[in-house]
Amino acid sequence: MKQNLVIVIAICILFGFEASSQSFTLGAPGNIVINNGDTITVAGTTNDFDLFGHLGLTNYSSSVKSVMILKEELSLVPFCDVTFQFGIWMYPPMVYTTPQGFDVAAGATDSSFHTAYTHYGNAGTSYVKYTFFDENNPLDKAWMVFKFEIT
């Protein structure tokens, strides 16, 4: 009985490590590594039409991952819009979670993500958080914040 308990505990520990391991890393153009919680500032003026942010997502696991994205508008200047694209899909301002995953191959980096901040001439600072997560294991994720500054 004691031996069975030890085996069950060992399996739970191993499964727990696998379930909580991080398969993804984020990067900005120029091979800049982005850690969870990092903020990237994108600055412009009211004369600029849109501001853009680009990211690469690397899948360090040994299997294909179906990646979804959660967009959170932490603080948004009134009357501004935030859109994003991942894979072949472009998402309008009212979409906060992608409706389906986009496959990223094992060991591959996908650089298709970009976000567009449309300010319509309104000055101010907005913060938008993006979380990239495994559709089949939402605890397996990477996230960062874009800070959009319009002067």
pLDDT at position 62: 93
Region 73-83: mean pLDDT is: 97
CA–CA dist 94, 92 (Å, integer) = 6
CA–CA dist 71, 127 (Å, integer) = 11
CA–CA dist 105, 29 (Å, integer) = 20
pLDDT at position 18: 42
State pLDDT tens for residues 2-57: 555 444 444 444 444 444 458 999 999 888 999 999 999 999 999 999 999 999 99
Q: What is the DSSP letter of 144?
A: E
Contacts of 113 (CB under 8 A, 6+ apart): 54, 55, 56, 57, 69, 84, 85, 86, 130, 132
CA–CA dist 127, 80 (Å, integer) = 12
pLDDT at position 29: 87
Tokens matching residue 142? 């990477």
State pLDDT tens for residues 88-116: 899 999 999 999 999 999 999 999 999 99
pTM: 0.85
pLDDT at position 31: 84
Sheet strands side by side (includes 102-104): 39-44, 137-150, 124-134, 65-75, 102-104
Nearest C-alpha neighbor of 79 from the set 124, 38, 40, 28 = 124
Question: Taking 70 as the threshold, does the pLDDT of residue 1 lie above it?
Answer: no
CA–CA dist 101, 125 (Å, integer) = 30
Tokens matching residue 14? 């191993």
